[in-house]
């Protein structure tokens, strides 16, 4: 982890409000793992004040050039400021940060993505393909427009769901998860889940995993101030049993953002 300068190679609006950002980073930038994030200065002025944490969609290495990719939606002041940064703009970031997905899953990985939460799972899927590991990719979004990156999923079996039925199954990706589990011949010994998306979906996936004894890693999202474990501003509430003796709040930035989904108290996580 270091503070490094970066510059915008591309900041393209793929679908209304959804952007793919490519940032060139120095040659010495540590190779990030899927699920790790960077803490990005989204503008060169002091407004917005704080950096924004972004999970990585990918890491590109070509010759001596390294770049990180971020898939983001405009949802607030930070992402709005970021969306107006032109090609060539110099920014800086701290990273790579946090704990990513387990890099070498021992069981069949079932990747479960909701909306823009697909980003770190596309990164994970690519890594699995590089290692010639088969996987299952279940992806749900509101409509076909938001199914970002589906053509990029190779080496895995892909199933889609949309709320409006414009592509794939009409309904929640959770149904795909249940169906896959019932018909795929999986057991907790030979399959595990990696998920990222809205916390409501993660809660449902975690509950399903917990009920069936399935190992489940979820990538969490939330506001962060320091992102290095110092300020304690990004607490993750845990179930009583997992918190141990009394309350304990792991910091999402250093003990996450990828965590065991079955110990997170989703009711208390905003």
Residues near other proteins (CB under 8 A) are 1-3, 41, 46-51, 77-78, 94, 222-237, 246-249, 268-270
Strand partners, 158: 137
Please say which residue, 100 or 250, places its beta carbon nearer to other proteins.
Answer: 250
Closest alpha carbon to 148 in 60, 202, 205, 71: 71
Compare residues 89 and 102 and give the one whose CB is closer to other proteins. Answer: 89
Q: Please state the closest distance from residue 228 (CB atom) to other proteins, in A.
A: 5
Which lies closer to other proteins via its Cβ, residue 188 or residue 235? 235
Would you say 173 or 264 has its CB closer to other proteins?
264
Strand partners, 92: 5
* Pick from 144, 139, 138: nearest CA to 164: 144
Place of tokens 């975690």: 206
Specify whether the CB–CB gap between 127 and 169 falls below 8 A. Answer: no
Provide the token pair at 141: 């979004």
- Token pair for 249: 């709040």
Nearer to other proteins, 192 or 221 (CB): 221
Please, what is the minimum distance in Å from the beta carbon of residue 151 to other proteins?
35
Q: How many residues does the chain have?
A: 270
Nearer Cβ to other proteins (29/139) = 29
- The beta-strand segments (E) located in the chain are 2-15, 18-25, 37-40, 52-55, 58-62, 65-73, 90-97, 108-114, 135-141, 156-162, 169-170, 191-196, 216-219, 258-260
Rounded to the nearest whole angstrom, what is the least distance from the CB of residue 269 to other proteins in the complex?
Answer: 7
CB of 203 to other proteins, least distance (A): 15
Whose CA is closest to 55, among 219, 165, 201? 219
How many other C-beta atoms can be found within 10 angstroms of the C-beta atom of residue 146? Answer: 23
Q: Which residues of 67-103 are buried (b: 16+ CB within 10 A; e: fewer)?
A: bbbbbbbbeeebbebbbebeeebebbbbbbbbbbbbe
In the complex, least distance from residue 245 CB atom to other proteins, rounded to whole angstroms: 10
Q: Which is nearer to other proteins, 237 or 257 (CB)?
A: 237
Least CB distance to other proteins at residue 43 (A): 10
Q: How far is the CB of 92 from other proteins (least distance, A)?
A: 9
**Residue 120 or 237 with smaller CB distance to other proteins:** 237
151 contacts 181 by C-beta, under 8 angstroms: no
The least CB distance from residue 123 to other proteins, in Å, is 24
């Amino acid at each position: 982890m270091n503070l490094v300068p970066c510059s915008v190679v591309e900041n393209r609006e793929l679908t209304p409000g959804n952007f793919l950002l490519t940032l060139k980073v120095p040659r010495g930038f540590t190779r990030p793992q899927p699920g790790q994030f960077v803490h990005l200065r989204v503008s060169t002025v002091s407004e917005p004040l704080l950096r924004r944490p972004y999970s990585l969609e990918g890491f590109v290495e070509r010759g001596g050039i390294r770049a990180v990719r971020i898939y983001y939606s405009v949802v607030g002041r930070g992402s709005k400021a970021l969306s107006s940064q032109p090609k060539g703009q110099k920014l800086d970031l701290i990273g790579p940060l946090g704990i990513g997905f387990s890099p070498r899953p021992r069981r069949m990985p079932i990747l479960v993505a909701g909306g823009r939460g697909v980003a770190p799972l596309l990164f994970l899927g690519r890594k699995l393909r590089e290692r010639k590991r088969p996987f299952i990719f279940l992806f749900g979004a509101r409509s076909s427009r938001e199914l970002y990156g589906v053509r990029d999923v190779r080496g895995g079996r892909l199933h889609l769901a949309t709320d409006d039925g414009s592509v794939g199954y009409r309904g929640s990706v959770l149904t795909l998860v249940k169906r896959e589990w019932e018909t795929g011949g999986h057991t907790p010994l030979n399959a595990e889940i990696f998920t990222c998306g809205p916390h409501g979906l993660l809660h449902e996936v975690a509950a399903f995993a917990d009920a069936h004894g399935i190992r489940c890693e979820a990538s969490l999202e939330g506001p962060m101030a320091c992102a290095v474990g110092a300020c304690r501003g990004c607490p993750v509430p845990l179930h009583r049993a997992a918190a141990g003796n009394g309350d304990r709040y792991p910091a999402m930035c250093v003990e996450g953002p990828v965590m065991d989904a079955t110990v997170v108290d989703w009711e208390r996580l905003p």
